[in-house]
Structure 1
Amino acid sequence: MADNHNFPPQAYQQHDDEIDLKELFLALWKGKWIIIFVTAIFAVGGVLYALSQPNTYKAEAVLASANDGQSGGLAAMASQFGGLASLAGISLGGGGTDSKAMALATLQSRQFLNAFIHKYDLLAPLMAVEKWDKSQNKLIYNTDIYNVEKKEWATNDQGESFQPSDWKAYNAFKGALSISESKDNGLINLSITHLSPTIAKQWVDWLVIDINAWVKKESLDEAKRNITYLEEQIERTSISDMQSVFYQLIEEQTKNLMLAQVQEEFAFKIIDPAVVPEEKAGPKRALICILAVLLGGMLGMGIVLIRYAFAKKD
Structure 2
Amino acid sequence: MTRYERVPEPTETRYHPNDEIDLRQLFTTLWQGKWVIVATTILFAVAGVFYALSKPNIYQASVLLAPAQNEGNPSGISGQLGGLASLAGINLGGGGSNKTIMAKEVLQSRAFLTDFIHRHNLSVPLMATEAWNMKSQSWVTDREIYNVETAEWLQDDQGESLKPTDWDLVKKFRDGHLSLSEDKETGMLTVKLKSLSPPVAKEWADLLVKDINEHMREQDVQEAEARIAFLEEKLNETNVAGMQ
Specify if TM > 0.5: yes
Report which stretch shifted further, 213-222 or 43-52.
Answer: 43-52
**Aligned in 2, Cα 1:186/1:226: closer, same or farther, shift over 3 Å?**
closer
Which runs of no fewer than 5 residues in structure 2 stay unpaired? 1-8
Q: Mapping of 1:112-261 within 5 angstroms?
A: 112-174=112-174, 175-182=176-183, 185-232=186-233, 237=237, 239-240=238-239
Question: Could you report, residue by residue, the CA deviation over 1:190-238 in whole angstroms, capped at 9, with x for unpaired residues?
Answer: 2211111111111111111111111111222233334444445555x4x
CA distance in 1, matches of 2:111, 2:89: 29
Report which stretch shifted further, 179-188 or 219-228.
Answer: 179-188
**Aligned in 2, Cα 1:126/1:21: closer, same or farther, shift over 3 Å?**
farther
Question: Could you report, residue by residue, the CA deviation over 1:235-279 in whole angstroms, capped at 9, with x for unpaired residues?
Answer: 5x4x446x976x6xxxxxxxxxxxxxxxxxxxxxxxxxxxxxxxx
CA distance in 2, matches of 1:173, 1:85: 48
Report which stretch shifted further, 181-190 or 78-87.
Answer: 78-87
The root-mean-square deviation of aligned C-alpha atoms, in Å, is 3.6
**Aligned in 2, Cα 1:99/1:84: closer, same or farther, shift over 3 Å?**
farther
* Count of paired positions: 233
- Equivalent AA in structure 2 for residue 189 of structure 1: T
- Per-residue deviation, 1:154: 2.1
**Aligned in 2, Cα 1:16/1:130: closer, same or farther, shift over 3 Å?**
farther
Question: Could you report, residue by residue, the CA deviation over 1:161-180 in whole angstroms, capped at 9, with x for unpaired residues?
Answer: 22232223222222312233
- Equivalent AA in structure 1 for residue 212 of structure 2: I
CA distance in 1, matches of 2:53, 2:99: 45
Corresponding position of 2:102: 102
Corresponding position of 2:5: none
Give the conservation status (yes or no) of the 8 Å contact 2:85–2:231.
Answer: no
CA distance in 2, matches of 1:42, 1:86: 75
- Per-residue deviation, 1:87: 5.4
By percentage of residues, which structure has more helix? 1
- Per-residue deviation, 1:10: 5.7
- Per-residue deviation, 1:27: 5.0
Give the conservation status (yes or no) of the 8 Å contact 2:180–2:191.
Answer: yes
Which runs of no fewer than 5 residues in structure 1 stay unpaired? 1-7, 248-314
Q: Mapping of 1:298-309 within 5 angstroms?
A: none
- Equivalent AA in structure 2 for residue 221 of structure 1: Q
Counterpart of 1:59 (choices 55, 58, 61) is 61
Give the conservation status (yes or no) of the 8 Å contact 2:141–2:148.
Answer: yes
Question: Could you report, residue by residue, the CA deviation over 1:8-41 in whole angstroms, capped at 9, with x for unpaired residues?
Answer: 8863245899683736655544544544444444
1:12 aligns with 2:13: yes
**Aligned in 2, Cα 1:233/1:202: closer, same or farther, shift over 3 Å?**
same
**Aligned in 2, Cα 1:166/1:83: closer, same or farther, shift over 3 Å?**
farther
CA distance in 1, matches of 2:44, 2:137: 34
**Aligned in 2, Cα 1:25/1:83: closer, same or farther, shift over 3 Å?**
farther
CA distance in 1, matches of 2:198, 2:10: 79
CA distance in 2, matches of 1:17, 1:223: 87
CA distance in 1, matches of 2:148, 2:56: 20
Counterpart of 1:73 (choices 66, 72, 76) is 76
**Aligned in 2, Cα 1:101/1:207: closer, same or farther, shift over 3 Å?**
same
- Structure 2 length normalisation: TM-score? 0.76
| Higher RCO structure, 1 or 2 (CA under 8 Å, sep 6+) | 1
